[in-house]
Structure 1
Amino acid sequence: MQVVNNLQDLNKALHVETNKSIGFVPTMGALHDGHLSLVHRSMEKSDFTVVSIFINPTQFDNPNDFSNYPVNLEYDLSVLKKYNIDLVFIPKFKELYQQENKVNIPLNGLDQVLEGRHRKGHFNGVLRVLNIFFKLIKPQYAFFGEKDYQQFLIVNLLAKNQFKNIEIILCPTRRLQTGLAMSSRNSRLSPDQQKIASKIYETLNFCKMNFSFSKIKELESVCLEKLKDFSDPEYFEIRNSINLSNKINKEDKCRAFVATKISNVRLIDNLAIN
């Protein structure tokens, strides 16, 4: 496993692999089995897998959230070494963003709802860093988790607009036995708090079991009240799975999306409900 920290070494490592298909797994570290499922998928589909570890400050709307983001680089590298990853890229902010040539792409309102409405500038930061990574690494495949489904839709637009040779691959959400979606932020919760947080998935499943096109608003309200019983919710919304519109027709595929806080730790999740 090669570990590189600068662009010169990155370019050297990639230059040797010019005839291989490259799979890219962008992470912010604090790796868990959800990340590793993306790594495993990349290793299945690609000849050469690159994992980045970079906590990207431009996608945080809250400075406290950025400063409190969990860091465990030694553990991350030990886990990736066991997987025999080909290349780990751990860039520094200044050198990485010196490579930036900003792009403006039409997002068709995808960045104005849900996380986009509650975390101003978040997706702009995500697009900025991925635009840099995609240009540097030039992967054929990039892997993203279903837990961040809105992000997947937006990154897919970036690829279709600017990187037509990159296939964006959505991988299923990995969950604990309790149903809680795996997240680096879970490490900031105590075992008891994680048990409470599993009720998020229970609420999503309640929504799925009781879904009816004629009672969407009513169901959203009921689920929001359920969240209030154990957490501090920001939203619970049912949206079209393709364009995230809340104007839903009976032939549409839908998802329920949730963001809520438990002991000031912000958690998100979503579930296909029909």
Structure 2
Amino acid sequence: MKVVTTKKELISWINDFRKEGKTIGLVPTMGALHEGHLSLVKECKKNTDIAVVSIFVNPTQFNDPEDLKRYPRTPEKDTSLLDTIGCDLIFLPTVEEVYPEKDTRKFNFGYLETIMEGARRPGHFNGVGQVVSRLFDIVSPDKAYFGMKDFQQIAIIKNMVKQLNYKIDIVSCPIIREESGLALSSRNTLLDEDHRKNAPHIYATLKKARNLVARMSVNDLKKWITDQIDSNPYLKTEYVEIVDDTTLQLIEDWREKNNKVVCVAVHAGKIRLIDNIIL
């Protein structure tokens, strides 16, 4: 396993692999790795010859400076974990390496950035577009792997790939959960004991909601989910939306012929958690 910190060194390695006819997979991360990230790398290893993992806390996607400051950083632990599962290349750049000049590009994701995370975190998805496109330009992967916990983000990245005409296959991978049901997230390490103990109530509620589709309207089910989550004194719902799994259009009637996903954002104390479940 090679750990590189500069674009020049990374591109040199990738060019060598390309000369050998090898395919390249990329797993972009912000570090503080857990089993969810590792599952993406394992999937990448199965389907491409070379697994590249980037570890970079991207400042342009944080609309809250305190959130950026608070985000966990564990590079030594991360590289050690990646070594155990056979990662080939780790890219650990500085901000200056990724953005030698200020990135002033403005993406237009249309409807996709007007709902859920887009509506509540202004500029967030523009920052995602900036960093992921920079990584795509540097690595030129054949495939890139993303976890479905960030459901809306995958739709944004697929849209960006079309806009910029990248020939990259975006691979969505299932959410990995703790035994309790809590979706694995780097932010889980920031939860205090009480909030961590109560956070699994989010997924427990989503699982129950699956069984109520036949008995409730869309709006009634959204209200029921909100009330159930908020009945736990350690949790406060920010939003509950039921959307089309491809277009993210809001579902208003169960008779609509498409796959539907419940997406939620919940505050557990100062920590904001997101989750989703396919109905």
User: Given the two structures, how large is their TM-score scaled by the length of structure 2?
Assistant: 0.93
1:185 to 164, 184, 187: 187
Distance 2:4 2:165 in 1: 24
Offset, 1:95: 2.2
**Equivalent residues of 1:116, 1:123 under 8 A apart:** yes
Distance 2:246 2:221 in 1: 20
Distance 1:259 1:241 in 2: 17
Paired residue secondary structure (1:49): strand
Runs of 5+ consecutive residues of structure 1 not aligned to the other structure = none
**Equivalent residues of 2:28, 2:55 under 8 A apart:** yes
2:250 to 228, 239, 246: 246
Question: Counterpart in 2 of 1:16?
Answer: 16
1:93 to 72, 95, 98: 95
Distance 1:197 1:214 in 2: 25
Question: Counterpart in 2 of 1:6?
Answer: 6
Instruction: State the identity as a percent.
Output: 37
Paired residue secondary structure (1:233): strand
Distance 1:102 1:41 in 2: 34
Distance 2:213 2:199 in 1: 22
User: Given the two structures, how large is their TM-score scaled by the length of structure 1?
Assistant: 0.95
Structure 1 residues 195 and 163: CA distance shift in structure 2, 3 A: farther
Question: Counterpart in 1 of 2:271?
Answer: 265
Question: Counterpart in 2 of 1:38?
Answer: 40
Q: Structure 1 residues 189-198 or 103-112, which shifts more?
A: 103-112
Distance 2:94 2:109 in 1: 28
Aligned residues: 273
Alignment of 1:101-180 (within 5 A): 106-180=108-182
Distance 1:213 1:93 in 2: 51
Offset, 1:152: 0.5
Distance 1:255 1:121 in 2: 24
Distance 1:15 1:84 in 2: 20
1:234 and 2:238 aligned = yes
Distance 1:253 1:108 in 2: 21
Runs of 5+ consecutive residues of structure 2 not aligned to the other structure = none
**Equivalent residues of 1:100, 1:128 under 8 A apart:** no
Distance 1:101 1:194 in 2: 36
| Residue identity in the other structure for 1:233 | T
Q: Structure 1 residues 232-241 or 159-168, which shifts more?
A: 159-168
Distance 1:110 1:153 in 2: 8
Question: Counterpart in 2 of 1:56?
Answer: 58
1:81 to 65, 80, 83: 83
Offset, 1:226: 1.3
**4+ aligned runs moved over 3 Å, structure 1:** 99-106
| Residue identity in the other structure for 2:38 | L
**Equivalent residues of 1:99, 1:132 under 8 A apart:** no
Distance 2:145 2:134 in 1: 16
1:66 and 2:72 aligned = no
> Residue deviations 1:14-43, cap 9 Å, x none?
121112110000000000000000000000
Distance 2:215 2:102 in 1: 44
| Residue identity in the other structure for 1:82 | T
Paired residue secondary structure (1:66): helix
Offset, 1:161: 2.5
**Equivalent residues of 2:243, 2:250 under 8 A apart:** yes
1:256 and 2:266 aligned = no
**Equivalent residues of 1:240, 1:248 under 8 A apart:** no
Distance 1:167 1:119 in 2: 27
C-alpha root-mean-square deviation of aligned residues, in Å? 1.7
Q: Structure 1 residues 160-169 or 172-181, which shifts more?
A: 160-169
Structure 1 residues 137 and 213: CA distance shift in structure 2, 3 A: farther
